[in-house]
Amino acid sequence: MTEQGPVEERIFRGIPVSSGVCHGRILVLKKAELSIPKYDVSEEDLPQQVQRFEQALITTRREILDVQHKISKAIGDEEARIFDAHLLVLEDPTLIDSVTNQIVQKRVNVEWAFHEFTEKYTATLNAIDDAYLRERAADMRDVNSRILNNLMGVQRQDLQNLREPCIIVAYDLPPSETAFLDRKIVLGIGTDIGSKTSHTAIMARSLQIPAVTGLQNASQKLQSGTYVLLDGYNGALIIHPSDQTLFEYGQLVRRQVNIQEKLREITVLPAVTLDGTKLTLSANIEQISDIESVKYFGAEGVGLFRTEYLFINRSALPTEDEQYDAYRKVASELKPQPVIIRTLDLGGDKFISKLQVAQEMNPFLGWRAIRYCLEEKEVFRAQLRAILRASAEGNVKMMYPMVSCQDEVLKANAFVEEYKAELRAEGKAFDENLEIGVMIEIPSAAIAANFLAKHVKFFSIGTNDLIQYTLAVDRMNQKIAYLYEPTHPAIVRLIQMTAEAAHANNIWCGVCGEMAGDPELTPLLLALGADELSMAPPLLPQIKLMIRRLKNAEIKELGEFALKCDSSREILERSRALARMAAPGLFETQM
């Protein structure tokens, strides 16, 4: 169905997750609304309901393994490993036991029991202020949908046999469906929900299909057949684009071809300013499969290896040997480049049933990260021993998250020395000079940085949490998100104070939060004393290009201005102006 007559151009704004521009007619996939029946089940029929649940899990597992196998052949093993998380959901004892108990205790049908539990479970994950765990909620939605469909005999929508070129607009598009899209037919993807780290976004990037998420209600307001332009650079879905808009985007595509060629050439070059100051650019990773991206985008090692993925969606905690194997693979693959492993950063705000962490009134200020590890000594012991053992296989360093005071560092270091002694006695190799650092993400740590620096070898500033804790702002709360200001004068001073304390004690200072991957803020971070920047691997080339276009005199002048300025906006504008003057090509995606 196509629309007739002159119409005005309209824009839906969202989150750009896969770069590129495309235009054409849309195919709208409305959010599936299953009507879940509820009925009482007699005592003698309860075993049949449990058996139906078990059979649905078996069928779903078979489907996901088939999807994984096909993706491995079509796209690659790295993308196929995304579905390991889906398979783990099917083995989650919390899921299985809770649904089974609900069926038996309430004497209800399996569809209702399953739906009730999974709605609460995913709502818990969605509420967590951690992008990685929220995206695991998206994995659960995909798996849950499959299980419900199998229980109710509903066929999933088949997008593999589309005949006409189109741009798909949907409430959500599971990665298991995204992976099989034909790039010649599906020109782009727009979804109401999702983020840059969602597995759907990862699939879109792998397939090089332009994609925008977070369009809120586009799938409800638009009709199939409408002509649109999808902007995967800026996160826009333009309805009925004018001839002028189409012309301007044609120019944008040509400019992007040129800048992408420059970024590909720069991956093998050092991150050094025009007058010779060398910076270290590292990668943030979450799992072993990220190693290839680290190499491909020219990172100088790993500045943040998040270990939480080893602890999530499991029936039991990972053993020391299992952790050792994971850390060893990364270290040996990347040596002699450094790999900084962050110790467990889970706790009261992050859902993990096996750890038996009690519900807290305010989990963000609660029992988590280093606080949890210092009390749960066996959990900490297994991880510290695994990291120590892996240090014999490569250039491994380690850092503690959410440190608030010197006492926590001393206690953690004492455990490290104790486990070194154990390993010596057992004849197991490790690096006697393993370097230990701390994450600076709490204001008290930044203020006390001079004391902390005497007991560690480096700092890594986690700007996401530092900003939230300093400004008392939950950046996921839309009502106050405007208060989340990376260039707030207090944040500027805390970063500078941390770097100054590090240098005064002859240690280095890095930044591993989102600020590190923002080219507009690169000049400011250098001006405040950062020695290393660590970010998602695909962001590395543009940050490297920015560094290679800056001069020390300009950086110094910006730093002096920022430390005297009382306006977040003016600091941002000054850093932004310098960035755009130094590397204008990086910002030519903006319309």
- 128 alpha carbon, distance to own chain's centre: 13
What is the C-alpha separation between 129 and 135, in angstroms, rounded?
A: 11
Structure tokens at 279: 């910076």
Helix 110-126 and helix 46-74: axis angle, to 10°? 50
Which one-letter amino acid corresponds to residue 286? Answer: E
565 is catalytic: no
Strands (E), 291-434: 302-306, 338-342, 395-400
Q: How many CA atoms lie within 13 A of 480 on its CB side?
A: 7
**Which entry of 199, 373, 488, 509 is annotated as an active-site residue?**
199
User: Two tokens at 151?
Assistant: 């229980």
Respond yes or no: is residue 455 known to be catalytic.
no
Phi and psi at residue 428, to the nearest 5°: -100, 135
CB contact at 8 A, 428 and 389: yes
- H or E stretch covering 135: helix 131-152
Active-site pick, 22, 166, 509, 512? 512
Rounded Cα gap, residues 470 and 488, in angstroms: 10
CA distance 557 to 471: 26
The Cα–Cα gap between 587 and 409 comes to 41
Rounded Cα gap, residues 188 and 182, in angstroms: 10
d(CA 209, CA 124): 31
Nearest to 14 by CA among 178, 175, 219: 219
Q: Are 92 and 313 in contact (CB under 8 A)?
A: yes
Six-digit token string for 51 = 């058996």
How far, in Å, CA of 18 to CA of 247, rounded? 21
CB-count exposure of residue 249 (10 Å: 0-12, 13-18, 19+): buried
DSSP class of residue 278 equals: B
Residues with a known catalytic role: 199, 512
